[in-house]
Amino acid sequence: MVSGGISLQGKTVLVILDEVTVTAASYVERVIRLHVIPFSQKIDVLEFVPSNRGKGITLIYKGYTYAHIHSKTRWYCSKKAKGCKARLHTTDEGELVAVGESSHNHPPPTLFRDSDGKVHRL
């Protein structure tokens, strides 16, 4: 049995798995996809992280990732090339001004944060 707490603003969701052995794959399926991803969509703070390829910044908002293209204040969903129209508008200081389009045509990515604080897509 494995248990873990997901905490936000003083409230914790306890997740208990009844598996004897937990592998990385079953952890992703049973915990990350079922519990962490839906929860992440309630976190409406903006988070800026270095992009995976080392250049540029990725913005995480409600479990989705965004990239800026021409301007530091206009953010487009990372799946823009796949036709997703979701976008955000921030100030130069990184505060949310407006959600230009909030609906995505795809589920949120599975994000994993390593011990260095870097965020990876699984």
CB of 77 to Zn ion, least distance (A): 3
Residue from the set 40, 58, 79, 90 that interacts with Zn ion by CB under 5 A: 79
What is the rounded (10 degree) CA torsion for 88, 33, 5, 112?
-60
Binding of residue 74 to Zn ion (CB under 5 A): no
Q: Which positions from 9 through 68 interact with Zn ion, judged by CB under 5 A?
A: none
Q: Residues 5, 13: contact at Cβ < 8 Å?
A: yes
Nearest approach, Cβ of 87 to Zn ion (angstroms)? 9
To the nearest 10°, report the CA torsion of 81, 84, 85, 90: -80
- Using the rule CB under 5 A, which residue among 39, 49, 104, 112 binds Zn ion? 104
Taking CB under 5 A as the rule, does residue 87 contact Zn ion? no
Task: Say whether 38 sits in a helix, a strand or coil.
Answer: helix
Residues 6+ apart with CB under 8 A from 70: none
- Piece of the chain touching Zn ion by CB under 5 A; list 41-49, 51-59, 76-84, 94-102: 76-84
Using CB under 5 A, list all residues that contact Zn ion: 77, 79, 84, 86, 104
